[in-house]
Chains A and B, each alone.
Chain A
Amino acid sequence: MQLVNSHTSASQSHSTDSTLKIRMIEISSLSKSYGRHKAVDKISFEVAPGDIVGFLGPNGAGKTTTLRMLTGFLPPTSGAARIAGKDIFRESLEVRKRIGYMPENVPLYTEMRVKEYLRFRGALRGLSGGRLRKRMGEVMETCGLSDVRRKMIKTLSKGYRQRVGLADALIHEPDLLILDEPTNGLDPNQIRAIRKLIQNLGEKHTILLSTHILSEVEMTCNKVVIIDGGKVKAADSPENLVRSMRRAGRVTIELQAPRAEVEPVISNFDEVTRVVSESLKDGWNRFNVFAAPNTDTRLKLGNLAAEKHWPLRSLSRRVGTLEEVFVELTRKD
């Protein structure tokens, strides 16, 4: 809960700062129900131009539904969203011109050849003549498709199909790229290649990508939106999320001092909520110090040990990972 609160206050201050600046994506209480089931429940978040946003959530959290609403494939039940200032429902065609969308599992016309497919998709987006040819050459180059350009899509491997999907999303130089699980089902080498591609694309485009692979998000994204059960659980930069997670303030210290003597002293620190100690086999004692997130008690503890002349051999603060943040926010228990 703490995370959500800190996020809302952060985003409010952000929006007052940048009311004049145009936002790439602006979602306000967007909902989608399938019958009685609420797939997406009043989500709101914003994406600034140039951001690479990781859109995370467990299976069935509403990621694909949200992306489908943004791309105009599904109409929202209520709420609104704007892309580059255009309403996704009323100005759907304008919005669709500005986005490059790669759907989940990358559906393609498998009986077409790569070049033929890209020509068709480029033409649909309004490219023609020399400009279409130039863009086709460029995206095939960018996505590494030059040597399979004449092949039928059905003969291509999954990795190549993914690249064709990406080339398709890129061909009209969209302002915003929406990628639904771009690395789903690829081998580690292919994932690495696609990730590199996304990083390069991030220099010129705004990217919203949904994925399960958290290490990937940590490496590529500068903003993370986590949703679960159709609601936004957190939206912030990965660093902030990791820093403010519940377990992030935890410090472990190993001292050679009586547990009964050390524990009350540490517990007296303001930010410390709880101390759990254990005796190690070699005569040392380990103290697990639970402290509030966003705090670092290491310096205090080090000084304390020096002051009291307690021999100290290890002092470490837990470095959280995005995976832990994700689990903490979306755990069902």
Chain B
Amino acid sequence: MRIFRILYFKELKTYFLTPFGWLILSFAALMQGLILSTTLKGFSDEAQSESLVFLNFNSPLFWFYFLFLFPVLTMRLFSEENRSGTLEGLLTAPVRTWQVVLSKYFAAYTAFAFLWIPAFVHFELFTILTDVPAPFSNGELYGAIMAIMLMGALFTAFGCLASALTSSQIIAGVVCVAILFVHFLLGSVTTIFGSQIAAAPLFDFVSSQMHLRDFTRGLVDSRPIIYYLSTSAFVIFLTYHLLDYRRWKP
């Protein structure tokens, strides 16, 4: 646990003690603000049947930037250690491979979680700054945060996997985007082809768009929770073995 903590804080420092992390944070805050003001403009133009939280997180702009946060956060994690050779120094210290993998994963996940502080503050501010009753309920807001954290867990794991695959940050980033894009498309299959096809329930089951829609309505379902947590664990497990590839390659 001690080793994990040391590695975790070392990783966290590279997010918070460099301009890099703050750049992502400001980009995320900018996009969140932009989406919120666009959604609010919709409210002022005409009456809306859905809540502010729902419209905010289901706007097309959301996916446009959300999927790009992960490659930026994770592409460096393993590929850079691989390229510069520091992995050799790290893994010849009395450190277990799983400690390295988990510390990097959780550091990236922590950085990801930080990116949502502005969004959360926006919604809290709405009730404080305006005298109109908030056009959303707390259940919807917490549902939205939960959905984002769950998706973040899986997508960060995908990013780690992509980064452990290669020693080039760029390739890691591209692979991560590709995986996330395929995942996104799988979730859109029923929207495109309709839910008449035989595999529709399967596509719906993995559809992050669908999950987000439910959660932002305040419908918290246990099936997606288990889906995200177990898949994340599996992807991290793959990352672990990828990092240990030199041990079992023929």
Residues of A within 8 A of B (CB): 35, 68, 71-75, 93, 96-97, 99, 101, 103, 105, 107-111, 120-121, 123-126, 168
Q: Contacts A68-B88, A107-B85: A123 and B6 contacting too (C-beta < 8 A)?
A: yes
Contacts A73-B88, A107-B84 known; 10 new A-B pairs at CB < 8 A: A35-B250, A93-B94, A96-B94, A101-B92, A103-B89, A120-B10, A124-B3, A124-B6, A124-B93, A125-B94
Q: Which residue of B lies closest to A68 (CB)?
A: B88
Residue B91 at the chain A interface, CB threshold 8 Å: yes
Q: Which residue of B lies closest to A108 (CB)?
A: B86
Q: Contacts A35-B250, A111-B18: A73 and B93 contacting too (C-beta < 8 A)?
A: no
Contact A107 B6 (CB under 8 A): no
A-B contact pairs, 29 of them (CB 8 A): A35-B250, A68-B88, A71-B92, A72-B92, A73-B88, A73-B92, A73-B246, A74-B247, A93-B94, A96-B93, A96-B95, A97-B94, A99-B92, A103-B92, A105-B85, A107-B89, A108-B89, A109-B86, A120-B6, A120-B10, A121-B89, A121-B93, A123-B6, A124-B3, A124-B6, A124-B7, A124-B95, A125-B93, A125-B94
Pick from B3, B84, B247: contact of A75, CB under 8 Å: B247
Summarize B's interface: helix, strand, loop or mixed: helix
Q: Which residue of A lies closest to B244 (CB)?
A: A75
Contact B88 A107 (CB under 8 A): yes
Contact B88 A126 (CB under 8 A): no
Pick from B10, B94, B247: contact of A126, CB under 8 Å: B94
In the complex the two chains form, what is the Cα distance from A132 to B37 in whole Å?
52
Which B residues are CB-close (under 8 A) to A96? Answer: 92-95
Pick from B88, B94, B95, B246: contact of A103, CB under 8 Å: B88
Which A residues are CB-close (under 8 A) to B137? Answer: none
Pick the most buried of B6, B89, B91: most chain A CB atoms within 10 A of its CB. B89
Which A residues are CB-close (under 8 A) to B88? Answer: 68, 73, 103, 107
In the complex the two chains form, what is the Cα distance from A72 to B95 in whole Å?
11
Which A residues are CB-close (under 8 A) to B6? Answer: 120, 123-124
Residue B26 at the chain A interface, CB threshold 8 Å: no
Pick the most buried of B7, B10, B92: most chain A CB atoms within 10 A of its CB. B92
Residue B14 at the chain A interface, CB threshold 8 Å: yes
Give the distance to chain A from B122, nearest Cβ to Cβ, in Å.
33
In the complex the two chains form, what is the Cα distance from A194 to B94 in whole Å?
26
Give the distance to chain B from A125, nearest Cβ to Cβ, in Å.
6
Contact A168 B89 (CB under 8 A): yes
Pick the most buried of A35, A74, A109, A110: most chain B CB atoms within 10 A of its CB. A109
Summarize A's interface: helix, strand, loop or mixed: loop
In the complex the two chains form, what is the Cα distance from A122 to B242 in whole Å?
27
In the complex the two chains form, what is the Cα distance from A124 to B85 in whole Å?
18
Q: Which residue of B lies closest to A169 (CB)?
A: B89
Q: Mark B62-91, 1 if CB is under 8 A from A, else 0.
A: 000000000000000000000011101101
Which A residues are CB-close (under 8 A) to B7? Answer: 124
Which B residues are CB-close (under 8 A) to A35? Answer: 250
In the complex the two chains form, what is the Cα distance from A71 to B95 in whole Å?
12
In the complex the two chains form, what is the Cα distance from A110 to B89 in whole Å?
13
In the complex the two chains form, what is the Cα distance from A75 to B92 in whole Å?
12
In the complex the two chains form, what is the Cα distance from A96 to B92 in whole Å?
6
Give the distance to chain A from B101, nearest Cβ to Cβ, in Å.
15
What are the 4 tightest A-B residue pairs by CB atom distance, in nearest-first order? Answer: A107-B85, A71-B92, A96-B94, A107-B86
Give the distance to chain A from B244, nearest Cβ to Cβ, in Å.
10
Which A residues are CB-close (under 8 A) to B89? Answer: 101, 103, 107-108, 121, 168
In the complex the two chains form, what is the Cα distance from A265 to B70 in whole Å?
86
Which A residues are CB-close (under 8 A) to B95? Answer: 96, 124
Give the distance to chain A from B8, nearest Cβ to Cβ, in Å.
12
In the complex the two chains form, what is the Cα distance from A193 to B93 in whole Å?
26
Which A residues are CB-close (under 8 A) to B3? Answer: 124
Contact A124 B94 (CB under 8 A): yes
In the complex the two chains form, what is the Cα distance from A108 to B250 in whole Å?
29
Q: Which residue of B lies closest to A180 (CB)?
A: B88
Pick the most buried of A75, A93, A97, A124: most chain B CB atoms within 10 A of its CB. A124
In the complex the two chains form, what is the Cα distance from A114 to B181 in whole Å?
41
Which B residues are CB-close (under 8 A) to A97? Answer: 94
Which A residues are CB-close (under 8 A) to B91? Answer: 72-73
In the complex the two chains form, what is the Cα distance from A70 to B139 in whole Å?
57
Which B residues are CB-close (under 8 A) to A99? Answer: 92
In the complex the two chains form, what is the Cα distance from A283 to B224 in whole Å?
102
Which A residues are CB-close (under 8 A) to B247? Answer: 74-75
Give the distance to chain A from B58, nearest Cβ to Cβ, in Å.
39
